[in-house]
Chain A
Amino acid sequence: MSKSPFNGFAAEFAPRDAVDRGVRAVLIGLFLMVAITIPAHLSAQYLDLVTKGMAYSVGALSLVVLVGLVGQFSLAQAGFMGVGAFTAAHLVSGGNVPFVIALPLGGLAAVPVGMLAAIPALRVSGVYLAVVTLSFGEVLQKLFFDSEYNGGTLGHVALPRPGALQDGIHYFWFELFVLMALIAFVCMFRTRRTGRNLAAVRESEAAALSVGINTTRAKITAFGVSAFIAGIGGVLYSAGSGVASPDSFTPFDSIALLSVAVIGGLGSAAGAVAAGLFKTVTPVFIKDYIPFGSSAPELAGVAFGAGLVVQLLTAPLGVTSNLLVAERRLAGVVRFALRRQTAHPAASIEVIN
């Protein structure tokens, strides 16, 4: 497989010194402040959209993890989301399991399914894996999500939220917390031993093998972690609408997920967050601001597909790469200001002498 530009480009923009770290901390703080305060000012309809978007961000994060960690991509992510969603729905509405426990259990249920999808990845990579995972996601949806146990093709399974999360704003905050926790988990995972092994496999399988890394285990781990995150995203998505239904998790949703993740930036967690926003904001934007947009919600799909192609043609790294460049410039400005402040006294001494 030829080297992809997506492979963990965020690493190139990782903070190098205290200034970089400070700028990033300030930016993340600003984002969190906006994210926490904004739902109170949104109408019910928009709140619903950002709630779905946040769940979608978790789904996109699962893809970012897979691409960023081992350089593979999968078209079965919506399938993994569905496994999480239906598991949690059956646990909550059938087994009276509390939602907060069903959420991680839904994620865990997706792990073996993800590992199963990883088995072909041991033999083939890149495009063949795309073929297999597309087909795998289709089978998951058509054979299992559509089954009578889940209410049939047009049916669904209820996934009610607990009392404390009934309020839309509270649920949004809960989603934000889960998303941030998952991003923190991914960042920590990346620098730990297993994560570094995965990075080695991504850069060169041959080299990784030669230093004794078990590439088989590395790939299966990456798919497991990715499926876990996707499963959580699926639970969050379905709990947002109150039902797990099979038509939320089709192969086309996997492709849409990939589209928005590429537009957002398929190599950094920030890209995943942006992807979720694109997914939900674009349809509303089209509806409100494009002539005749309100009569044609399908225009959003056209925008995602065409947007993906245009993004690849112009900047394959996605919009986040521009943001990261801007962040670096900002850090440069801060550094320049700091240097002037410290350099000034020294300069005056020189003049006197």
Chain B
Amino acid sequence: MDLFVTTLIAGFVQGTINALLGAGLVAVYRGTRIINFAHGAMAMMATYIFVTLVDHKAPQVIGFPLAAMVTAVLFAIVLGVAIDLMVMRPLARQSYLVRIIATLGVLYTLQSVALLLWGGATRSVKPLFPRGGHQVGQITVSNSDLGVAVFAFGIAIGLTLFYRYSRFGTAIRAVSNSREAATLVGIRVNWVTAASWAIGGATGGIAGILLAPSLALDSYILTLLVISGLAAALTGRLESLGLALAGGIGLGVTTSLVVTYVGEWTLDHPQTWINLSHLDYAVALAWILGLLLIWKKPATTQQQAGGLLL
């Protein structure tokens, strides 16, 4: 029972990060109709810059490296806008496939730049939040878990509210529905796409920074965070922020449960043909496949054929 509850809590904390990553992907998708494969890579760059600044003793506010965090997130915002201006906007008239491949090119470039600047060695990161924890009944919730969950979930919820209720959020939703109609009512579409990339960069950067202490500073792992983010975002069909948040948390809890209990099982039944310590990747894949199965078949084959015959 104890194990079950701690597993749930760990899963929830991981889930809030997935939710934040998913929210960033949804933000970019709604503004630009692009699935940003470089999302994890942007997060990775921000995280590396954050850690470098902390290493060089950036000023802290009550033990929290606020200055470093703000700088890193600002960098991620600039990076997002730069990608929009330099890569995605010139490709706006190209086919969808070309633009998706371009985000993969950005991913590969950022990953290589990180290897160039900081090397390939994995290193650990100092915890963000003060040590210690709170006793709730028989369970201890660490400050770090609490901080990450509150921070990540707070930002994700804030983003959802911003999209729903603010004027700019409405403009973004208008562009998401129809670029032409949005242009006609006087919305500056270019500003909206740039802002979407900025929001994507900022949320990704924060997610990376929050996650780094519990994971590790490794450019491969951080870049591939895009997979769990995509699993979360796909839960809401890349459109719904609320479902993306729910999906992120669902994925986190499922992953945590599966990894913990399969881990218990493998203690007695060691497997040589499969490396079960990386089971989290398989859970994300299963999550994505499950979603694609549940969805109604997209309008590619049957409906088009029907239209043609009629």
Contact = CB atoms under 8 A, between A and B. Distances in A.
Nearest to A299: B116
Interface in B269-310: 271-276, 278-279, 281-282, 284-285, 288-289, 292-293, 295, 297-298, 300-301, 304-305, 307-309
A204 B87 CA distance: 29
Interface stretch (A162-170, A224-232, A307-315, A345-353): A307-315
B102 A312 contact: yes
A120 B112 contact: no
B191 interface: no
Interface stretch (A91-99, A135-143, A189-197, A323-331): A135-143
B113 interface: yes
Given A4-B97, A256-B108, A309-B87, A135 B301 contact: no
A342 interface: no
A296 B309 CA distance: 59
A247 B151 CA distance: 35
Contacts of A302: 109, 112-113, 116
A215 interface: yes
Interface string A276-309: 0000000000000000000010111110111011
A135 B281 contact: yes
Contacts of A125: 298, 300
A147 B109 contact: no
A300 B300 CA distance: 39
Nearest to A313: B90
Contacts of B300: 1, 124-125, 205
Contacts of B111: 252, 301, 305
A305 B109 contact: yes
Contacts of B107: 255, 305
B115 A298 contact: yes
B98 interface: yes
Contacts of A306: 105, 109
Contacts of B95: 2-5
Interface stretch (A23-31, A175-183, A206-214): A206-214
Given A144-B274, A252-B220, A209 B285 contact: no
A36 interface: no
Interface residues of B, number: 58
B227 interface: yes
B96 A147 contact: no
Contacts of A313: 87, 90-91
A308 B285 contact: no
- Interface majority SS on A: helix, strand, loop or mixed? helix
Contact of A143 (B275, B295, B297): B275
29 contacts: A1-B97, A2-B96, A2-B97, A4-B98, A73-B101, A75-B104, A120-B289, A123-B292, A124-B292, A126-B100, A130-B35, A130-B100, A131-B227, A131-B230, A131-B288, A132-B292, A135-B284, A144-B275, A148-B273, A205-B300, A205-B301, A252-B111, A252-B220, A252-B223, A298-B112, A300-B112, A305-B106, A305-B110, A312-B102
- Smallest CB-CB A-B distances: 7 pairs: A301-B112, A305-B109, A305-B108, A308-B105, A206-B304, A142-B278, A298-B116
Interface of B: 35, 37, 87, 90-91, 94-98, 100-102, 104-113, 115-116, 220, 223-224, 227, 230-231, 234, 271-276, 278-279, 281-282, 284-285, 288-289, 292-293, 295, 297-298, 300-301, 304-305, 307-309
Given A123-B295, A143-B279, A296-B116, 9 more contacts: A123-B292, A127-B100, A143-B281, A205-B304, A206-B301, A206-B307, A298-B112, A299-B112, A302-B113
